[in-house]
Structures are given as C-alpha cells and as structure tokens.
Structure 1
Amino acid sequence: MAALALGGAVPVWLSEEDLSCIICRELLDWPTTLPCGHSFCYQCLDDLWVKQRAGVGGRPWACPTCREALEAKPTLRKNPLLQDLADKYRHAALELEPGPETAPVPPRRPAPPPASSSEKEHSLSSPKAVASSASERKIREILHNLEEIQEKLQGGVTWKEASGEQVPEMPSSSLCLLPVQRCPVPRRASQFALRAISPTFDLRSLSCILEVSNSCRTVTVSRCPQPYSWGSERFLISQVLCSQALSSGQNYWEVDTRNCNHWAVGVASWGMKRDQMLGRTMDSWCIEWKGPGQFSAWAMVKKTDLHLGRPEVVGVWLDLELGKLAFYSVSAQERLLYECEVSASSPLHPAFWLYGLSPGNYLEIKQVNS
C-alpha cells in the first residue's frame, strides 16, 4: 500500500457511540482513561465514585465497564487524543445539520477544580474547537450519505448472482424509508418451525445497563442505569441470558436485530463469567455485528470474519444431538451465515450482547410461525 502524503487525511467510519461515555451516554467531555484502558468523562467518573462507592472486593475505585478494582484512587489525567476526536466529531455533526454555515460549537462543562494540591492534575485545559474547511465538510457529508445508503441496501436488497438476475433499481424515494415503513416480504414457513421455541430473558442475569419488556422478549438499552439488586449471576457488561436451559434435542429461535446498531447473538452456559464478553470464553458462541465490514463469528475464543451483509432477522439452530450450532439470515427463506461445533458440559442458554449503548436500541425475540 502506498504511503500517504504527509498531512493527508483518511476517512474513518466513526459513530457517536465510539466516542461516548458509558455513564452519561453523551460525547466524551474531559475524557480520562483508567489503567484498564476504558475512558469516561472526568466528572461522570468522579461523581460515580463519590456517590456510589460501589467497588469490587471492598475497593471503592473500580472501572464501571470491566469492574477492574484499583487499590487507591488513581490520578486522573485528560486523554488529549480522545478529547480532540470528540471535539472534531461534535463540530462536524453541527456543520452537517441544516442551518447557518458557521454554527457555534456547544460549550462543554467547565473543567473540574482540583480538590487539593495533590490533585492539581485533575484540572484540564479546554482545547480549541477544530474548524473544518468547506471541502472537508462536503467529503464527510458524502461519506455519511453513502454509509446510510449502503446499510439500507444491505438490509433490503439481495443480489441474485447465481441466476444472473438483477434486482430492479430502487427509486430514490424508497431509500428514505425507515425499517418499520418497508413493505413486508412474503415468507414461507420456516424449515425449522417444528423445533421452534420462544425463549424469554432471565432477569437474574440482566445487566443494569439493560431493561426488558413485560413479555421478557424485548431487551432495550436503558437511558440510565437500572437499580437492580446486585447478584453474582448479573452481567457487569450489557449482556443477558435467557431462562431456557437447553441440554438435548434440537431447538430454533429467531431474533429481530433491525433496531440495534451493534449486537451479538449466540448461546452460552449459565456458568459463563459475568465480566467476560460473549464468544470470548470457551463456553459461549455467537455472531456479532459492529457495522459495515465488521461482521464476525466467535467460537472457541477464535474470531472468523463474515463477508456478508447485515441480517435483519437472525435464526439460531442448536442441534445438541449432533453438537452443531448454525446461524441463518431470515427473510423469504433461511440463508446460512455461519456453522460450528459446540461442546458443553452444562446446558446452553440463548445469549445476547447489545454493544454500543445507544439508548433505545433493542433486540426482540420473534414468534416463529409454522
């Protein structure tokens, strides 16, 4: 690959979730990074530690994401790189909004004053807003529009390569339709319908970042941490298991992913460690969508890239007689996405991970029609 000229710019896909604080769910403001590598707004983290003092193993200073405990309160310093990225994203988002050409950048919270001379490093200087040229704004706007179009095409258009048949060109107006406005695609009965089950989310395992519907078949990223009572079975990150323990036979279920930007769907044993991510343990398996070009499968702690478009509905087929797990993209019919072997010494449960933490994002377990 040819080296870029000095000072050249490379377009990078970034979403607001990539630069957001997990505590306040907004763009990072005075970001500080803990030794474990996770970053938060300084004020959000400091307030959380002062108010809750709910650490790990009697230590009050713990990372809200991975729960790694610290012996003492660390010296919090500004991460200038993250601050610069958040400022650029904030400024670019304003420029792409309709309105005056030079919209003012919204003020950030003032720098928190140090509590003592030993904490002077907490005081952070405010970086200057980064201005973008008209040409850079235009490039970002074009890339943003292309990304939206690409996602819509991946979700709603299938290219029939085998037969050489081409899908008629879609009118431009149809690209503006939201997923709920699309015309439903006629679907034949599922080949797995006789083995279909309707799992329900288990409240004991539910992360405090998530909430479920009354039917326990929809899990949503909540707008504020939920006051669930703490228990060793509750996930520390945004994951949840279903109550159904599958130990034999063949089982099938479907998950609607259209209303979640980043997600993972799979199976795991009930004994999966609550501070680990789905697919990164020897007793969990999944497929994972994190954006265009970031679709993968995880099995036996190994990642496999899936060079496929985003599935709107995922069908999960678990055959414990043969020790097989398969994932399908479900539309008019099932299309195999990934298949692997499973071997577990204990029953497996449907498992879910809502990555990105955009409030209101949700996954729904569908009712399979026979």
Structure 2
Amino acid sequence: MAGLDSGPTVPVWLAEDDLGCIICQGLLAWPVTLPCGHSFCRGCLKGLWRAGPSWSCPTCREGDAQPLRLRKNTLLQDLADKYSRAVGEGPDPAGEGPDPAGETASPAPGPAPQPPRRAAQQPVVASKNVTEVGQELANLVEQLVDIVRSLQNQRQLPESGPDNKLNVPGTVDHSLASPKLVTSNTPEQKMRDILRDLEDIQGKLQEKFTGKERLEGQRQVKTPESQASSSCPLTGRSCLASWLVQRAISPTFDLRSLCCSLEVSEDCRKVTVSHFPQLYDWSCDRFTTCQVFCSQAFSSGQQYWEVDTQHCSHWAVGVASWAMSRNQTLGRTRDSWCLEWKGTSQLSVWHMVKETVLGAEKPKVVGIFLDLDQGKLAFYSVADQEKLLWECPISAPLPLHPAFWLYGLNPGNSLTIRPVRA
C-alpha cells in the first residue's frame, strides 16, 4: 500500500465508484464493513436501520436479529482520504477520530452523521415552491406509512415469508402473540394509532398538494392501448399483442453467471432454486446470490420477452449490464433495473437502491419491453390481457442482459422464460 503515498495522482485503477456508498451515492465517509463484506458510510447505514427492527445489508440482505457492531474500516477510510486529496478536495473530516467503543447499530437519538459530497455532485438547486415542498412531504409520509405497515406485519406474522429472512426465534415478543393479551397500551395498539395518524396526514397532504398533480399525471400517462395505437393502425388489445409479438425474443440463461444455489433446465429457459448447492466450476462471472443473466446482450433496437412467475414466491426480473458486481442485488446498482415481487404482497420497481411501490397484486406472467432506441424500459402483466405496470427512462453505456433473481430460501421456486403468444 506504500505506493499510494507516492504522490497526489489518482491511481489509474481507482475510480470513485470503487470507494462509493450505494446508499448516498457519495464517497465513503467513516466506512464500515458488514460481515457479508459490503461497505457503507456508517451514518447512511445507521440512518437506514433506524426505521426498522432488522439489521441487514441493503445490498444482499444478509444480517442478524441482533444489533451489529459497526467498526470503522481503516483501510477504506485511508483510501477515501487519499482519493479526496488526489482530486483536490482535502481529507474527509468524517473519517477522523476513533470509533466509539461498543458502538452498535441500534437506533440512537439525534440525526445520523451525513457523509460529505463531492463538489461535482452538489448542483445548485433553486428555491422550491410550496407545491414542491408539499409533494416531498407527501412522499415522505407515504414512506413512513409503508414502514409502519411493514413493522405491523412483522409483529402479526412472525413466521412470514422469505422476505423476513431475519425473523428467527427470539426476535419477536411472544407475549404479544395472543389477542387476549392485547390492550390499549401494547406496542400493537400504539402502532395502529401511529399508522392512523400518518394516514390522516397523508390524506390531507394529498388533498392539498398532490391531488391535482397526480390526476393530471394519470391523464398524461399512456395506456397500453394508446401506445399500441401510436405504433400500428389497429386499436385495442389485439394490436398491442401483435405489436409486442413482432419484437419478441426467447433468451436463454447464461451458465457462466449462474449462482451455485440455482439450476437450469436442458433448454436453459427455466431456472430453479436447488435443494442442494451445485458443484459448478468457479468463475468470477458467477453470482454469489441467487441470480442469473441471460446470454443475450442488447445495445440497440427493441426486444420483448415474457417470464412465468407463478411458481416463485419472491423474485425480481429486469435488465443489467454484464459489469454488474456479482455480490450485489438486481436493482440496487447504477447499471440494473428490475420489477420485484416480495413475499409480503408488494410489487415494486428498483433502480440504484431506490424503490417505487406499484401495488399488492402479483402478476402471473411479466412481459419486459426494452427499447434502447428510445431509451425506455417497460414492464407488463400479460397473463390474461396486457396491462402496463411501469415504464421508465433507461440509459446504459454498456449492453444490457435480461437478469433474474430468485429468493434463495425456498428450494423448488422457479422462473420460466416462456414463448410469447399472440
């Protein structure tokens, strides 16, 4: 490591992304490394964990039912400081000073320390008007409502599905399991009161600030039928089906990227969570989590494929570049996008660790339309009829592969790339 002190020049192999925190998208400040090997700013991680009772990695979700000790990674801090000096920004003040003995990830009063941002990442923002502030408040309250509902579900269903990986014996107050013991002073009652108050605030904010904007936004969103009518002279569902079928492909799973917890069918179009670890040859391209890419890569044009999700309780489907780190999760990086179904009845889209909740209805078959000519990615529910779930802009400097994630705690769960039907 002595070579790093030879001068202020940034080593050619070192980029800011190598020393970045995926939570704040900034340079690591007081970095801590979890047992799974992923590193984050201590302030970012504590702020993320403060909202809930589980202590898990935001990248791979590995964690523990007990608070984790967050000790500073001095090597990463040294690299981050040297990188800052090399680009002329000076040392990171948040990296100075010892880590308090016995510091844990349990919630603590007061604001979490915020890591500094690079000057290039701090554009000048004009003053916001009342409507914009109201919309931000409404979004914040919506997130708080989701958090409280999630906590409420965890208390009511301690044995709940695969998304509650950390719910092990001892993490739930079993004195609350019997309805006979519930009184007005129990945590459940208090949580219901908090949820009711938050929902009241949410309704008032939506009525005052966001009702009109959301209504106009819904009017401007194109329905699948309107999108189809703009691309072909026919109208209705038959047109949309024909429009997508013309762009249909049938990708196959890439065995080089296949996680050892997964196995694929002979035609490489069905992937299943294995009951036993598979003895695949080691490869730096192989995922460490239950994920897999398809062999096909796209840098231009329009492609459409469909995935049968009926036999999987928790999954994510989308696209990613081959350069995506093999120990990260789909939708939590800059070069990956996905639609995810959680075992807790929640459908969301993910990109760069940002989640957008779509609803609570699980699509049986997901259609994925990638339009790199127009820079768009769309997800459809196509089991019975085509329904647009989400459309977002997409920009990637590298070719994109179809990508899949199956939650690894349920052997037998499977996803199938099915033939596209007109």
Q: Is the 8 A contact 1:207 1:235 kept in 2?
A: yes
Gaps of 5+ in 2: 1-147, 149-153, 179-237
Q: In the TM superposition, what is the alpha-carbon distance from 1:255 to its structure 2 partner?
A: 0.2
Which residue of the partner structure matches residue 328 of structure 1? 380
Question: Residues 330, 216 of structure 1: CA spacing in aligned structure 2 closer, same or farther, 3 A cutoff?
Answer: same
Cα distance in 1 for partners of 2:158, 2:339 equals 21
TM-score computed with the length of structure 2 as normaliser: 0.46
Q: Which amino acid aligns with 2:272?
A: T
Cα distance in 2 for partners of 1:334, 1:225 equals 37
SS of the residue 2:283 aligns to: coil
Q: In the TM superposition, what is the alpha-carbon distance from 1:294 to its structure 2 partner?
A: 2.1
> What is the count of residue pairs matched by the alignment?
208
SS of the residue 1:192 aligns to: helix
Which residue of the partner structure matches residue 272 of structure 1? 324
Which residue of the partner structure matches residue 253 of structure 2? 201
Query: Which of 344, 351, 359 is residue 411 of structure 2 equivalent to?
Result: 359
Q: Is the 8 A contact 2:319 2:400 kept in 1?
A: yes
SS of the residue 1:306 aligns to: strand
Q: How big is each residue's C-alpha offset from its partner over 1:60-112, in whole Å with a ceiling of 9 and x where there is no partner?
A: xxxxxxxxxxxxxxxxxxxxxx3335997xx99xxxxxxxxxxxxxxxxxxxx
Which residue of the partner structure matches residue 294 of structure 1? 346
Which residue of the partner structure matches residue 310 of structure 2? 258
Cα distance in 2 for partners of 1:276, 1:203 equals 18
Is the helix fraction higher in 1 or 2?
2
Q: Which amino acid aligns with 1:265?
A: V
Query: Which of 129, 151, 156 is residue 11 of structure 1 equivalent to?
Result: 156
Q: Is the 8 A contact 1:220 1:360 kept in 2?
A: yes
Query: Which of 268, 275, 296 is residue 216 of structure 1 equivalent to?
Result: 268
Gaps of 5+ in 1: 4-8, 22-81, 93-185
Matches within 5 A, 1:43-122: 82-84=168-170
Matches within 5 A, 1:335-350: 335-350=387-402
SS of the residue 1:315 aligns to: strand
Q: Which amino acid aligns with 1:239?
A: Q
Q: Is the 8 A contact 1:190 1:333 kept in 2?
A: no
Q: What stretches of structure 1 move > 4 A for 4+ residues in a row?
A: 18-21, 85-88, 186-190
SS of the residue 2:359 aligns to: coil
TM-score computed with the length of structure 1 as normaliser: 0.52
Q: Which amino acid aligns with 1:231?
A: S
The alignment's C-alpha RMSD in Å is: 2.9
Question: Residues 332, 83 of structure 1: CA spacing in aligned structure 2 closer, same or farther, 3 A cutoff?
Answer: closer
Q: How big is each residue's C-alpha offset from its partner over 1:308-343, in whole Å with a ceiling of 9 and x where there is no partner?
A: 411000000000000000000002321011111111
Cα distance in 1 for partners of 2:328, 2:309 equals 22
Query: Which of 284, 304, 322 is residue 356 of structure 2 equivalent to?
Result: 304
1:233 matches 2:285: yes
Question: Residues 84, 13 of structure 1: CA spacing in aligned structure 2 closer, same or farther, 3 A cutoff?
Answer: closer
Q: In the TM superposition, what is the alpha-carbon distance from 1:12 to its structure 2 partner?
A: 2.7
Q: Which amino acid aligns with 1:306?
A: L
Cα distance in 2 for partners of 1:18, 1:321 equals 36
Which residue of the partner structure matches residue 141 of structure 1? none
